[in-house]
C-alpha cells in the first residue's frame, strides 16, 4: 500500500509539473502573439502615411509631365506663328504667350508636403523601441522560467540574487567614479571661464569652494552606499545585527552638514553684500547706464554730457516716445540711445535695471552679473570690467567671440532671442563710439514737446484771465 501511494504521488507530481509547464508555455505564447500582433499593427499604421505620401508624389510628377506635354504643342504653334507673322503681330503674340505662361505658372506650383523620410525615420525608431522592449520582456520571462524550474527541482538559492545585485552595485560604483573624473577632466574647461570683472573673482572663489565640498560629499556617500550593499548583503548563514539607535552617529550626521551649509550660506551672503552694498561716493562716480527690458528686446540709455540720466514716467509713453522719458526733466534732453552696450575697461559702471511689462532678468554670464528687471521698481548692479573684448578673443583663440547680455527669465515665445551685444573697449574707443550714437530727444519729440508746453501755457493764461 505504501509503495502504491509513493508511486501515485510521484506520478501526480510529474503530471502537476507537466501541467504547470504547459500552462506557462501557453501564457508565454499568448503574450508573444499579442506583442507581435501589436508591433505588426503599429507597422501598418505608420506605413499608411508613407504610401499615401508616395502616391501624392507620383500624382504630382504625372501632373507635371502632363502640363509639360500640353505646353510643348503650344510652344511649337507660337514659334510657327512668330515666323510667319509680321513684326507687330509677333509682338502681340509674344505678349499673349507671356501672359499665358504667367497664368499657367501657379497651376504647376507644388503643394508643400512633409518629406516621406520623416515618416520612415519615425516608424523606424518606434519599431526599434518596441523591439528593445520585446527583448527585455523575453529576457525577463526566460529568467522567471529559469527561477521556477529551479524551485521545482529544489535547487533554488534565494540568496544568490543578493550577491549578483551587490556585485552589480559595486561595478556601477567604479563606473560612476570614473564618470565623475572624466566629466571634470574633459568638460570642466568647456563650461568654465574666469570672470572678466573685479567682483567675478569673488563669485568664482565661492563657486569653486562649493563645488569642491559637494563633490567630496557625493563621492564619499556613493562609496559608502555601494560598498555597504556588497559587504553586508544577506547570506544563508549570516544574521543581521539589530542596531536601532546611536546618539553619536545622529549628532555627527546632523551637526556636520548643518555647520557646512551654514558656512556656505554666510559665505554667499557676505560675498553678495560686498558686491551690491556699494558706498554712496562710488555710486556717484561710476558711469550710469539704464537698461529697460520689454518683450522681447533691451533698450539702453546713456547719460549725456551732464552725466545724469533723466527721469522716466510710464504715463508719458506715446508712439513717438515708447520709452516713456519725461522730457520736462532737462537732464533727459541729452540722453543717448545705445545700439549696443559699450563699456570702458577698468572703469566702474552702475546699471539701472527696469522693466516695461513683465519680469525679465539682466544676465551677463562672463561678467558674473545677474539681477531681475521688475516692473514698477529699479534694481541696481555695479561692477568694473577688467578684460576688453579683444583681449578675451585672444585668450580664447576665437576672434568672433562677443560678450552677450541675455534675459534669464522665461518671458514669452521670443525669450530665446532677447539679447544685447556687450563690448568692452578702451576709454578712447568708448568716447568715440558714444559720440556717434543718437539722442532720445529727436526733432519730432522736440516739436511734440514744444506744442504740449505751448498748450499748457495757453491754458494757464486762460485760467488766470478768467480768475481776474
Say how many C-beta atoms besides its own lie within 10 A of residue 32's C-beta.
14
| CA 153 centroid distance within chain | 57
CA distance 388 to 195: 12
pLDDT score for 334: 86
| H or E, element range at 423 | strand 419-425
pLDDT score for 89: 42
pLDDT per residue over 188-237, tens digit each? 777 778 889 999 989 999 989 999 999 999 999 999 988 888 888 887 77
pLDDT score for 149: 86
Say how many C-beta atoms besides its own lie within 10 A of residue 119's C-beta.
19
Q: pLDDT class for 384, splitting at 50, 70, 90?
A: very high
pLDDT score for 163: 82
C-alpha cell at 133: 522592449
Residue for grid cell 583681449: 391
pLDDT per residue over 153-185, tens digit each? 877 777 777 888 888 888 999 999 999 999 988
pLDDT score for 454: 63
State in words which class domain 286-440 has.
mainly beta
Say yes or no to pLDDT of 341 above 60.
Answer: yes
Q: pLDDT class for 103, splitting at 50, 70, 90?
A: very low
Find all residues with CB under 8 Å of 378, minimum gap 6, and list them: 352, 353, 354
CA distance 337 to 348: 20
pLDDT score for 441: 84
C-alpha cell at 94: 509674344
pLDDT score for 449: 77
Find all residues with CB under 8 Å of 414, minimum gap 6, and list them: 295, 296
Out of 50-59, 65-74, 108-117, pick the least confident: 65-74
Say yes or no to pLDDT of 401 above 70.
Answer: yes
C-alpha cell at 316: 508719458
Determine what percent of the chain is predicted with pLDDT higher than 70. Answer: 73
Residue for grid cell 558686491: 275
Considering the chain, what is the average pLDDT of its residues?
77
CA distance 57 to 55: 5
CA distance 334 to 302: 9
Q: Supply the angle between the helices 160-187 and 198-231 in degrees, to the nearest 10.
A: 160
Say yes or no to pLDDT of 87 above 60.
Answer: no
CA distance 458 to 33: 93
- C-alpha dihedral (308, 312, 317, 319), degrees to nearest 10: 10
Say yes or no to pLDDT of 69 above 70.
Answer: no
Q: pLDDT class for 432, splitting at 50, 70, 90?
A: very high
Amino acid at each position: 500500500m505504501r509503495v502504491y501511494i509513493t508511486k501515485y504521488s510521484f506520478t501526480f507530481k510529474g503530471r502537476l509539473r507537466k501541467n504547470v509547464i504547459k500552462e506557462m508555455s501557453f501564457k508565454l505564447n499568448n503574450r508573444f502573439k499579442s506583442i507581435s500582433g501589436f508591433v505588426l499593427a503599429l507597422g501598418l499604421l505608420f506605413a499608411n502615411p508613407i504610401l499615401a505620401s508616395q502616391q501624392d508624389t507620383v500624382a504630382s510628377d504625372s501632373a507635371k509631365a502632363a502640363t509639360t506635354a500640353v505646353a510643348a504643342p503650344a510652344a511649337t504653334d507660337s514659334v510657327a506663328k512668330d515666323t510667319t507673322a509680321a513684326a507687330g503681330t509677333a509682338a502681340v503674340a509674344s505678349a499673349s504667350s507671356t501672359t499665358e505662361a504667367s497664368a499657367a505658372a501657379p497651376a504647376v506650383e507644388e503643394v508643400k508636403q512633409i518629406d516621406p523620410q520623416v515618416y520612415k525615420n519615425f516608424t523606424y525608431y518606434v519599431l526599434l523601441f518596441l523591439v528593445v522592449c520585446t527583448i527585455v520582456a523575453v529576457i525577463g520571462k526566460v529568467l522567471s522560467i529559469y527561477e521556477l524550474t529551479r524551485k521545482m527541482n529544489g535547487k533554488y538559492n534565494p540568496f544568490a540574487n543578493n550577491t549578483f545585485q551587490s556585485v552589480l552595485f559595486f561595478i556601477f560604483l567604479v563606473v560612476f567614479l570614473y564618470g565623475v573624473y572624466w566629466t571634470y577632466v574633459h568638460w570642466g574647461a568647456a563650461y568654465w571661464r574666469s570672470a572678466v570683472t573685479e567682483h567675478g573673482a569673488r563669485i568664482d572663489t565661492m563657486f569653486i569652494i562649493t563645488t569642491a565640498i559637494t563633490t567630496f560629499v557625493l563621492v564619499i556617500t556613493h562609496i559608502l552606499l555601494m560598498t555597504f550593499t556588497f559587504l553586508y548583503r544577506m547570506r544563508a548563514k549570516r544574521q543581521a545585527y539589530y542596531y536601532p539607535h546611536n546618539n553619536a552617529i545622529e549628532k555627527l550626521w546632523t551637526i556636520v552638514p548643518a555647520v557646512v551649509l551654514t558656512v556656505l550660506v554666510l559665505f554667499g551672503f557676505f560675498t553678495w553684500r560686498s558686491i551690491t552694498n556699494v558706498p554712496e561716493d562710488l555710486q556717484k562716480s561710476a558711469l550710469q547706464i539704464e537698461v529697460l527690458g520689454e518683450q522681447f528686446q533691451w533698450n539702453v540709455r546713456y547719460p549725456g554730457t551732464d552725466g545724469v540720466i533723466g527721469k522716466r514716467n510710464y504715463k508719458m509713453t506715446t508712439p513717438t516716445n515708447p520709452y516713456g522719458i519725461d522730457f520736462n526733466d532737462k537732464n533727459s534732453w541729452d540722453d543717448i540711445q545705445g545700439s549696443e552696450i559699450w563699456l570702458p575697461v577698468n572703469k566702474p559702471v552702475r546699471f539701472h535695471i527696469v522693466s516695461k511689462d513683465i519680469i525679465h532678468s539682466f544676465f551677463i554670464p562672463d561678467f558674473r552679473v545677474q539681477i531681475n528687471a521688475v516692473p514698477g521698481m529699479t534694481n541696481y548692479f555695479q561692477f568694473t570690467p577688467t578684460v576688453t573684448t579683444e583681449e578675451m578673443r585672444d585668450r580664447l583663440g576665437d576672434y568672433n567671440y562677443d560678450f552677450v547680455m541675455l534675459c534669464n527669465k522665461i518671458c514669452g515665445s521670443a525669450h530665446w532671442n532677447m539679447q544685447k551685444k556687450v563690448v568692452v573697449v578702451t576709454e578712447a574707443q568708448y568716447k568715440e563710439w558714444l559720440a556717434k550714437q543718437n539722442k532720445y530727444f529727436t526733432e519730432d519729440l522736440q516739436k511734440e514737446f514744444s506744442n504740449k508746453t505751448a498748450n499748457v501755457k495757453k491754458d494757464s493764461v486762460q485760467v488766470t484771465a478768467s480768475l481776474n
